[in-house]
Amino acid sequence: MATPGLDHWSDIVVVVIYFIGVLGVGLWTVFRGNRGSVNSYFLAGRSLSWFPVGASLFSSNIGSEHFVGLAGTGAAAGIAMISYEWASMPLVLLLAWLFLPVYISAGVYTLPEFMEKRLGGRRIRIYLSVLALILYIVTKLAVSIFAGALFIQLALGWNMYVSIVALLVITGIYTILGGLKAVMYTDTFQTVVMTLGSFALVGISFHKIGGYNNLKEKYMDAIPSIRNPNSTCGFPRSDAFNIFRDAVTGDNPWPGLLLQSSVGCLWYWCCDQVIVQRSLGAKNLTHAKGGSILAGYLKLLPLFMMIFPGMISRALYPDEVACVDPEECRKVCDNPVGCSNIAYPKLVLELLPYGARGLLMAVMLSAIMSSLTSIFNSSSTIFTMDLWRRMRPQAHERELLIVGRIFILFLCAVSILWIPLVRSSQGGQLFNYIQAVQGYLGTPIGALFFLAVMWKRMTEQGAFWGIAIGHTCGIIRMGIDLAYPAPDCGEPETRPGVLLNVHYTYFGALMICVTSIAIIVISLLTTPRTEEELKGVTWFTRIRGDSLEDNLEMKNSKDNREEPHSEGVNNDAEKQKDESIEEVMDDTSDDRPTWRRWLDQICGMPSKSHSQDDPHIGPEMTQKYLKESPKWKTVLNINAVVGLILTAFLYGFYH
């Protein structure tokens, strides 16, 4: 049965209103506040409160691939993959309580920049910068385009090229003009839309299926009518409603799943520019911690927002969603391998009334757009601050802002050029390839950053060669995976023993061990950095906001371009006052053409052609961000413990 498209006027009106709302929020952010400095453009001037920080963390992570892929996984194999979502709670808390104080203390914009300050060598910074850009462009960008195009093209019947280009135009406008602040405020708006819209579908779908107990019963009976009668292909897994599966024979063995979803994903939540940059944009460490707690709680919801709807879709439409016959699957979704990826859009367009379908389309658009804006902004930051400043160390703020915006345009062009590759890819092969790349290349990064923060003895040689060894192991395993894909149901097993006997989750844990051992051994054989060189860049040598010694040191610190002030806050206020006076004086003698002045105003460019503002983050500003109120520190600690207890309870309930 063909799935109806989104062609009713009420659905289209809802989508149009959504587009207007997103663009309105983005442009409202663009024309308020200062955007004419590197700090304000790439770090939102470090002025955001806990709610937009937490909402942006969540929406930057939740993309269209979650609604398509996670719901599809739930339809095909049950709830086990929710571990990757729930393990985010301890990881995002680890970011705010352990890693972020060190990143702020180091006074950096990007994580490759942190590694250069921590280790003293530039090659590790270049290595990580290039690696991050490759991962963002080839994986994150492709994931968003692939899953979004799948939803738009297969489920809604819209023209994929027109839809994706329209999304890129809208996201590009406020991302290029507004920087991180515009991205984070629109992410907040989109988080609200995603949460409310998806829970509307949850309520309607559970009412349709008759409740949770009926779901468990009907899911187990959701077997396609067209299948090989002599095989179990198309049968639901008997352990579909359990997270912990057999340690040897399970599709996701529980020890490997726990290790990979927690330690294996350390790199993503604590060492990835897209995530960390949102926390660096917070007003101070207190707001960053509050944002992490909010994001952790929101990450507990995908079981109900995505996986259960995917399972309900299979229970209601087993012949389409759970099809196993290649010819039948080709008729349903043009994919002979299987159609579980249509579970969520199928449920939306078959079950929801007119108007509500438009709302869920807005949910999908929110997921796509929030992922794209996060990729654009963070990739632009890495390219500008890590690579362009190395090529042109004398570049002033105006040049850096222009380069950052041009690079976003480049990414938009790459996204459009990627569409033919998406169209030519068959089934889920591209999606699986992307996940493999992220896992095999990302996992060793977590070990690198954890040792950099917690072990003062680590050296540049140990870090560089250790991560190179880890990535070599990952690339070899990834090559074997791609060369020997898993056979279809009912076909004989031909994969080598290294794939059959070592599950990819176990291999991820092995990669962490290999990377860590290589870093430790090589570091012990090379000369370490001095205590003075390590000041501010490890957990044990970080700047503390509540330290009297640090307060005195910050007070006595001097900047080469301005006189010191008694307090960091007063210094910032007086500096802003001086800048305002300078701008007024500049305006009286401004010989720029009128069109140029308007263009600079719209783009948020500084009025001076060669601004001498220092793009580096000074120690006084760092101390201000690290300072915490004892009362709120206690409140946040209690909330963090409650979040961990709730996460443990959910694991126990669905074990």
What's the CATH code of the domain at 185? 1.20.1730.10
Residue 627 domain-assigned? no
Contact 202, 344 (CB under 8 A): no
Orientation angle between helical segments 429-454 and 504-524, nearest 10 degrees = 30
SS3 label, residue 638: helix
Question: Rounded CA gap, 507 and 440, in Å?
Answer: 9
What is the C-alpha separation between 273 and 385, in angstroms, rounded?
12
Q: How many CB atoms lie within 10 A of CB 524?
A: 12
Q: Is the pLDDT of residue 550 over 50?
A: no
**Residue 593 in tokens:** 């053409």
Write 210-216 long-range contacts (CB < 8 A, 24+): 215/308, 215/311, 215/312, 215/315, 216/241
Domain membership of residue 168 (yes or no) is yes
Scanning the structure block, which residue is given the tokens 């929101």? 298
pLDDT band at 368 (very low <50, low <70, confident <90, very high): confident
The tens digit of pLDDT for each residue in 6-20 reads: 677 888 888 788 778
Q: Would 202 be classed as within a structural domain?
A: yes
CA distance linking residue 461 with residue 445, whole number of Å? 15
Where residue 421 falls among pLDDT bands split at 50, 70, 90? Answer: low
Going through 4-43 in order, the beta strands assigned E by DSSP cover: none
Q: How far is CA 56 from each of CA 24, 63, 104, 119, 402, rounded to the nearest angstrom?
A: 17, 12, 19, 30, 24
Kindly state the helix (H) or strand (E) to which residue 350 belongs, with its residue range: helix 343-351
Q: What percent of the chain has pLDDT over 70?
A: 78
| More confident of the two residues 134 and 434 | 134
Cα distance between residue 86 and residue 96, in whole Å: 17
| Mean pLDDT, range 207-220, rounded to an integer | 92
109 located within any domain: yes
pLDDT surpassing 60 at residue 543: yes
The pLDDT value given to residue 534: 93
What's the domain range around 79?
Answer: 9-26+39-534
Dump pLDDT digits (tens) for 371-412.
777 788 888 888 888 888 888 888 777 788 788 888 888 887
Q: Output the pLDDT for position 455.
A: 95
- Listed in sequence order, the residues at least 6 apart from 65 whose beta carbon sits closer than 8 Å to its beta carbon are 143, 144, 146, 147, 431
Find tokens 């249509």 and name the residue: 342
Reply yes or no on whether the pLDDT at 652 is more than 90. yes
Instruction: Say what the pLDDT of residue 146 is.
Output: 66
Q: What does the mean pLDDT of the chain come to?
A: 79
Query: Tens digit of pLDDT for each residue in 426-465?
Result: 444 444 556 667 778 888 999 999 999 999 999 999 999 9
608-619 pLDDT, tens digit per residue, is 544 444 455 666
Count Cβ atoms below 10 Å from residue 355 Cβ, excluding itself: 13
Name the band, by pLDDT with cuts 50, 70 and 90, for residue 582: very low
Q: Which pLDDT band holds residue 334 (cuts at 50, 70, 90)?
A: confident
Do 590 and 604 contact (CB within 8 A), yes or no?
no
Task: Count Cβ atoms within 10 A of the Cβ of residue 151 and give its class: 0-12 exposed, 13-18 middle, 19 or more buried.
Answer: buried
What's residue 579's pLDDT?
43
pLDDT at 360: 77
Quote the pLDDT of residue 572.
46
Q: Determine, yes or no, domain membership for 562.
A: no
- Tell me what pLDDT residue 386 has: 86
Residue 563 is assigned to a structural domain of this protein: no
Q: What is the pLDDT of residue 434?
A: 61
Who's near 460: CB < 8 A, 6+ residues apart? Answer: 119, 120, 121, 123, 124, 526
Q: What is the DSSP string of 494-555?
A: ---HHHHSS-HHHHHHHHHHHHHHHHHHHHHTSPPPPTTTTTTSSTTS---TT-HHHHHHHH
Structure tokens belonging to residue 231: 């095989």
- Confidence band for 585, pLDDT divided at 50, 70 and 90: very low
Q: Say what the pLDDT of residue 160 is.
A: 66
Domain assignment of residue 607, yes or no: no
Number of domains in the chain: 1
What does the pLDDT average to over 180-209? 83
Residue 377 lies in a domain: yes
Taking the C-alpha atoms of residue 510 and residue 516, their distance in angstroms, rounded to an integer, is 10
Greatest C-alpha distance within the chain: 86
Which of these ranges, 25-29, 271-275, 351-355, 520-524, has the smallest mean pLDDT? Answer: 25-29
